[in-house]
């Protein structure tokens, strides 16, 4: 069995080979990251699967770009400006790097922070016992959850409300956050939402034109809900996540840590001890990030139940939160009466064609590029000279027109002064946010990995 050092050397050699071939050919290179790091046998490593989250980045990709001596060294700062639920920060931490993550979705920020925070398992067990005891004493409080009665039975609404109140009484913030993540998982499991679909869609066994297997699964879920108590589901989740946390504790390096911030990628602000600051220029050795895709993003909607139960965004607050996200779909008509130029020539040609078919979809894609350019500027600003940036992005079609996000973002970064060192393509299929119900966008068949350096 290969040691960590042997694996790092193997990736070093592979990276250098890829650099050499790309320097000569300047052609995109095919790669299979699952094969390149074939020692990652299971997705359930450390705290990765603490909480479901849509469109997760394949863990093999950051593992490959972190576990080498070419792009960064142990102790270096690694950042992900679109960190989602924390795949990159967690892999950075495990590899011995200082991890920073940023996301404007408060649920993502919570999950990611818990995943990179070591906690004493004995303390977790003690507090867990206290939460269970406290259920008999706490005052019932039901947070504002969109369409609550549509998604839950009256019994589970009461049980979840009491459980949330009991968790809120935990004084230690890090420990409380761990239990809030477990609670969020339980809240989704106990809903009428189909777990196979990232955005909440209610099970409907009486729906026409569905398969017999769907009807059977829906009936089975409704039957399970009738006989299941929230505390029993919560206890099982706490037990599973405690085991994951114990695995993380075993491999953490004492001199590194992970911090996740609730911040837009266009700003990259930190907040420590109540003081908010912009992340310093030239402070990050390596950025690994997978930004949203244009017009395919339903992160806020997919998280709506948890956002409500956790008090982050209740009824009437989801749309304002969505407006903070890059790649959003909803705009008032007044905003897309005229198409904005991106000043990326190839993109503007395509956007004009899209505009003739669907002005809203053209505006979504154009505004995506304009806002991504602001995020790119901020990334380049914080990257150290001699540092590297790894961008993972997919292309799709908008209204039947090819939208080459990889080419447009590549042009933006090169214009900002970065040098493209490597262009890879992996046949990883769409990560779950583009649905067939959206007839204006196609599924993403592969992902592009662009590696830049800053001189």
Concatenate the DSSP letters of all residues of 152-172 into one string.
Answer: S-HHHHHHHHHHHHHHHT---
Distance from C-alpha of 340 to C-alpha of 92, rounded to nearest angstrom = 38
Same domain, 128 and 270: no
Distance from C-alpha of 293 to C-alpha of 161, rounded to nearest angstrom = 35
User: In the predicted model, is pLDDT for residue 433 greater than 50?
Assistant: no
Phi, psi at residue 450, to the nearest 5°? -110, 130
Q: What is the CATH number of the domain that holds 41?
A: 3.40.50.150
- Identify whether 65 is part of a domain: yes
Per the structure block, which two tokens stand in for 262? 């609730």
Same domain, 51 and 132: no
Beta bridge partners of 259: 100
Beta bridge partners of 276: 271
Distance from C-alpha of 390 to C-alpha of 72, rounded to nearest angstrom = 12
Q: Would you place residue 297 in the very low, low, confident or very high pLDDT band (cuts 50, 70, 90)?
A: low
User: In the predicted model, is pLDDT for residue 54 greater than 50?
Assistant: yes
pLDDT tens for residues 79-89? 999 999 999 99
Same domain, 321 and 412: yes
pLDDT tens for residues 306-321? 999 999 999 899 999 9
Per the structure block, which two tokens stand in for 364? 């979504």
Q: Classify residue 193 by its DSSP letter.
A: B
Same domain, 264 and 181: no
Distance from C-alpha of 213 to C-alpha of 219, rounded to nearest angstrom = 10
Count of structural domains, the chain: 2
- Region 209-223: mean pLDDT is 89
- Region 218-231: mean pLDDT is 95
- Identify whether 304 is part of a domain: no
Per the structure block, which two tokens stand in for 317? 């607050």
User: In the predicted model, is pLDDT for residue 366 greater than 70?
Assistant: yes
- Identify whether 116 is part of a domain: no
The per-residue DSSP string of 381-409 comes to HHEEEEEEEEEEEE-EEETTEEE-HHHHH
Is there a contact between 59 and 43 (Cβ–Cβ < 8 Å)?
Answer: yes
Structural domain for 211, as ranges: 121-249
Rounded to 10 deg, the angle between the 173-189 and 121-134 helix axes is 60
Q: Which of 249, 267, 287 is the last residue of a domain?
A: 249
Same domain, 10 and 99: yes
User: In the predicted model, is pLDDT for residue 131 greater than 60?
Assistant: yes
- Region 77-98: mean pLDDT is 97
Burial of 154 (0-12, 13-18, 19+ CB in 10 A): exposed
- pLDDT of res. 50: 98
- Identify whether 310 is part of a domain: no
Same domain, 102 and 180: no
User: In the predicted model, is pLDDT for residue 65 greater than 70?
Assistant: yes
Distance from C-alpha of 405 to C-alpha of 67, rounded to nearest angstrom = 27
∠ at Cα 342 (339, 345), nearest 5°?
A: 110
- pLDDT of res. 3: 79
Same domain, 408 and 291: yes
Same domain, 61 and 194: no
- pLDDT of res. 14: 97
- Identify whether 419 is part of a domain: yes
Same domain, 135 and 92: no
User: In the predicted model, is pLDDT for residue 298 greater than 50?
Assistant: yes
Distance from C-alpha of 51 to C-alpha of 47, rounded to nearest angstrom = 9
Same domain, 54 and 165: no
Residues of the chain with pLDDT > 90: what percent? 82
The chain-wide mean pLDDT, for the chain, equals 93
- Identify whether 306 is part of a domain: no
Is there a contact between 97 and 78 (Cβ–Cβ < 8 Å)?
Answer: yes
- Identify whether 14 is part of a domain: yes
- In whole angstroms, how far apart are CA 266 and each of 223, 374, 377, 412? 46, 6, 8, 14
**Ramachandran bin of 147, using left for φ above 0, alpha for ψ from -120 to 50, beta for the remaining angles:** left
Q: Would you place residue 442 in the very low, low, confident or very high pLDDT band (cuts 50, 70, 90)?
A: low
pLDDT tens for residues 135-193? 999 999 999 999 999 999 999 999 999 999 999 999 999 999 999 999 999 999 999 99
Same domain, 284 and 430: yes
- pLDDT of res. 204: 85
* pTM of the entire predicted model: 0.95
Per the structure block, which two tokens stand in for 445? 């068949």
Same domain, 350 and 388: yes
């Amino acid at each position: 069995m290969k040691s960590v050092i042997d694996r790092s050397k193997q990736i070093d050699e592979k990276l250098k080979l890829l650099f050499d071939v790309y320097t000569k050919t300047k052609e995109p290179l095919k790669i299979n990251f699952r094969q390149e790091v074939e020692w990652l046998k299971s997705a359930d490593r450390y705290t990765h699967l603490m909480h479901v989250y849509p469109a997760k980045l394949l863990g093999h990709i950051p593992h490959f770009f972190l576990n080498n001596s070419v792009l960064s060294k142990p102790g270096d700062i690694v950042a992900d400006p679109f960190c989602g639920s924390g795949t990159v920060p967690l892999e950075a931490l495990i590899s011995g790097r200082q991890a920073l993550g940023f996301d404007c979705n408060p649920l993502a920020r919570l999950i990611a922070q818990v995943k990179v925070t070591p906690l004493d398992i004995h303390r977790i067990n003690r507090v867990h016992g206290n939460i269970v005891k406290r259920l008999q004493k706490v005052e019932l409080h039901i947070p504002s959850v969109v369409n609550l009665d549509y998604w839950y039975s009256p019994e589970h609404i009461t049980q979840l409300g009491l459980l949330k109140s009991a968790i809120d009484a935990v004084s230690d913030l890090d420990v409380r956050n761990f239990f809030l993540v477990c609670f969020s998982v339980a809240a989704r499991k106990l809903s009428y939402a189909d777990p196979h679909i990232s955005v909440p869609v209610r099970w409907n066994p009486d729906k026409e034109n569905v398969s017999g297997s769907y009807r059977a699964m829906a009936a089975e879920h409704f039957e399970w809900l009738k006989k299941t108590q929230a505390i029993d589901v919560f206890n099982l989740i706490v037990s599973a996540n405690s085991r994951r946390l114990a695995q993380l504790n075993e491999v953490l390096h004492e001199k590194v840590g992970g911090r996740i911030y609730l911040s837009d990628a266009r700003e990259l602000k930190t907040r420590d001890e109540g003081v908010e600051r912009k992340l310093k220029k030239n402070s990050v050795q390596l950025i690994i990030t997978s930004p949203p895709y244009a017009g395919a993003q339903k992160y806020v909607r997919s998280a709506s139940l948890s956002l409500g139960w956790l008090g982050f965004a209740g009824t009437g607050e989801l749309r304002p939160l969505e407006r903070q996200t890059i790649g959003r779909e909803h705009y008032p008509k007044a905003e897309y009466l005229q198409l904005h130029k991106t000043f990326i020539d190839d993109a503007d040609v395509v956007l004009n064609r899209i505009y003739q078919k669907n002005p809203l979809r053209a505006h979504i894609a154009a505004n995506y590029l304009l806002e991504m350019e602001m995020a790119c500027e901020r990334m380049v600003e914080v990257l150290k000279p001699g540092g590297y940036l790894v961008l993972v992005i997919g292309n799709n079609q908008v209204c039947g027109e090819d939208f080459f996000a990889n080419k447009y973002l590549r042009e933006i970064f090169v214009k900002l002064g970065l040098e493209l060192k490597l262009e890879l393509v992996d046949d990883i299929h769409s990560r779950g946010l583009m649905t067939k119900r959206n007839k204006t966008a196609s599924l993403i068949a592969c992902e592009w990995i662009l590696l830049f350096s800053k001189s």
